[in-house]
Amino acid sequence: MNSESEIAIRNQPGVPAIRSVNWGGLQALYLKEVRRFFKVQLQTIWAPALTTLLYLVIFTVALGGTRRDVLGVPFADFIAPGLIIMGMMQNAFANSSFSLLVGKIQGTIIDYLMPPLSTAEVLFGLAGAAVTRAILVGLTIWMAMLLWPGVHVTPRHIWAILLFGILGSSLLAFLGVLTSIWAEKFDHAAAVSNFVVAPLALLSGTFYSVDKLAPTFAAISHANPFHYAIAGFRYGFIGQADIPISFGVGLLVTLNVMLAGLCYALLNSGWKIKN
């Protein structure tokens, strides 16, 4: 009798039938997002990798034959890891900031709202696909740099590379989801990319050591969360860092939790999505 009444209650409209995590639905959403960017991998993976390599070429050629050490390593070895994670973070943002936005513009947002997925499942499906794209871009850049003469990108601390790579990419993935919720047209997402993400990435210590800056500019760099992701990721390759590693981990975890919580609240409310 109890089982029959429970079935009757579950069959009522508005009562969720899936009480735990819908792993099948989450996997379907994740694979949908991965296949979406993989269908145009020339633009989403190979083109960003080529652009990042051009940064390396420009800076190494500009220095010519002069030897300049930063944090005890040649300049090319110093900037290479930063370029890898910078490309990862920017592409994580590009992927997640596109998903819901294109759905709103094309009128296909119902594809995200109708399936039996919870708010958290939608959020982590979108963010997971963005981090996957970031990892693929990072691996492509790293493999190309392995073949580049005069650049050494041999990992020293795998744990730091994985930890800061995932934390930095997920931070931008959640920021991309937030942008995708707020934006009403592609110009809005482009504005966040051009006026928020790009400046923070370029002023994060990728091309210089923050310790060499004047106190005012050093303070600005230390307030930039990108700096901690890049410095920690670089530590995994060169064994040196201009930040306290434990503090960097704690800060990035905190920011990820805060952004994920904000995205969850907005998605759950339906702000600019269901209205």
DSSP string, 149-197: TT-----S-HHHHHHHHHHHHHHHHHHHHHHHHH-SSHHHHHHHIIIII
DSSP string, 112-156: HHSSS--HHHHHHHHHHHHHHHHHHHHHHHHHHHHTSTT-----S
Enter the tokens of residue 260.
Answer: 């994920």
When the pLDDT of each residue in the chain is averaged and rounded to a whole number, the result is 88
- Which amino acid, 41? Q
Q: What is the pLDDT of residue 57?
A: 83
What is the Cα–Cα distance from 30 to 259, expressed in whole angstroms?
A: 20
Q: List Cβ neighbours of 151 (8 Å cut-off, separation of 6 or more).
A: 56, 60, 76, 77, 80, 145
Query: How many residues are there in the chain?
Result: 275
Q: What is the pLDDT of residue 68?
A: 75
Q: What is the pLDDT of residue 232?
A: 95
Encode pLDDT of 200-237 as tens digits. Answer: 988 888 888 887 777 887 888 889 999 999 999 999 99
Angle at 204 between CA 200 and CA 206, to 5 degrees: 125
What is the Cα–Cα distance from 128 to 124, expressed in whole angstroms?
A: 6
Parts of the chain with a pLDDT under 50: 1, 9
What is the Cα–Cα distance from 124 to 27, expressed in whole angstroms?
A: 10
Q: What is the pLDDT of residue 178?
A: 96
Q: What is the pLDDT of residue 16?
A: 57
Domain segments of the chain: what residues?
25-269
